[in-house]
Amino acid sequence: MLSYRHSFHAGNHADVLKHAVQSLILQSLKVKDKAFVYIDTHAGAGCYDLHSKEMDKTGEYLEGIKRLWEGSVPAAMQAYLDTLRRLNETGELSQYPGSPLLAKELCRPQDRLLLSELHPADFGLLQELFTKDRRTKVHKIDGFAQLKGALPPIERRGMVLIDPPYELNHEYADVVKAVVDGIKRWATGTFAIWYPVVHSDDVDFLQRKLSNAGLPGTLQIELNVVQGNNRFGMTGSGMIVVNPPWKLEQQMNELLPWLVDKLGQSPEAHFKLRWLSPPQ
Ligand SMILES: C[S@@+](CC[C@H](N)C(=O)[O-])C[C@H]1O[C@@H](n2cnc3c(N)ncnc32)[C@H](O)[C@@H]1O
């Protein structure tokens, strides 16, 4: 079953958090000249038209990236916003880069990108976006299977983004398994897991399983735009980052209050930043 289409949600508050964290991790990998690998297990279509009929139905980006489009942003958001501005050269916000396009823009000639996407239509769009990019391999394959086969990468440095739709109940357990197995194969890799805040039981499951898995330093970053209620859809989202770059905690400490201010939809909007497993 592949009913999820990211085109309904592109640029929403959850994408802003995810892509801000993704770009900070990529920027930190670029501090050294040595090549790295970027692995995206659930890549999506790669680029989204914010004036599409799908987006007309939800308008989610209006409560997300649109709120940051005008005005200045903190230094930690600069690389992400610069990519967006290059994509929307006329100054009108009409295109939104998904995680693969953001990585395409932020990675260097020596880096390598490995993308998987299962939805036939989104896979086609993604493949088209990367036809001329010799650094990138795009596969229509299960992202968890691709990840398993790719580890450890020859570069020994890099990041994995794990961003499933969580439409199927077992996806939470799949994520935990992928990270626990992944760290066994590649102990120094950075694994960034996105999750929605919809049902507190699901978030508790992820937190508990990952906290008790004996993982290296694992940082949890969560942005709640309204108070959670277990009933009315996604009230926030989070990123759990195993082996985060050493500056990420401090960067998020500075950035999250600004994001709460910009993206909060009620006085109860708040953030969480804590270690599920302490840095070693
Ligand atoms: C949340 S979207 C990805 C968004 C993208 N990472 C971004 O930030 O722009 C999840 C995607 O995973 C795809 N998908 C679902 N199950 C998959 C699987 N087992 N392997 C690879 N892709 C899958 C869906 O078709 C969907 O496009």
Task: Look up tokens 């109860």; give the residue.
Answer: 268
Q: What is the CATH number of domain 6-199?
A: 3.40.50.150
> From ligand 1's centre to the CA of 2, what distance in Å?
9
pLDDT single digits (tens) 101-121: 999 999 999 999 999 999 999
DSSP string across 73-104: --GGGHHHHHHHHHHTTTSS--EEE-HHHHHH
Ligand 1 pocket mutation pick from 15, 101, 118, 159 by most atoms within 8 angstroms of CB: 118
The pLDDT tens digits for 196-225 are: 999 999 999 999 999 999 999 999 999 999
Residues 262 and 216: beta-carbon distance below 8 Å: no
For residue 7, what are its two tokens?
């085109």
Q: What are the boundaries of each domain within the chain?
A: 6-199
Closest by alpha carbon to 236, among 258, 263, 255? Answer: 263
Question: How many CB atoms are located within 10 Å of the residue 212 CB?
Answer: 11
- 159-162-165 Cα angle (round to 5): 160
Measuring from atom 1 of ligand 1, which residue has the nearest CA?
Answer: 165
Integer Cα distance of 29 and 48 in angstroms? 26
**pLDDT (mean) for 186-197:** 98
The alpha carbon of 142 and the centre of ligand 1 are apart by a number of angstroms equal to 9
CA-to-CA dists, residue 154 to 23, 42, 86, 149, angstroms: 22, 21, 31, 12
Specify the pTM: 0.97
Mean local confidence (pLDDT), 31-58: 94
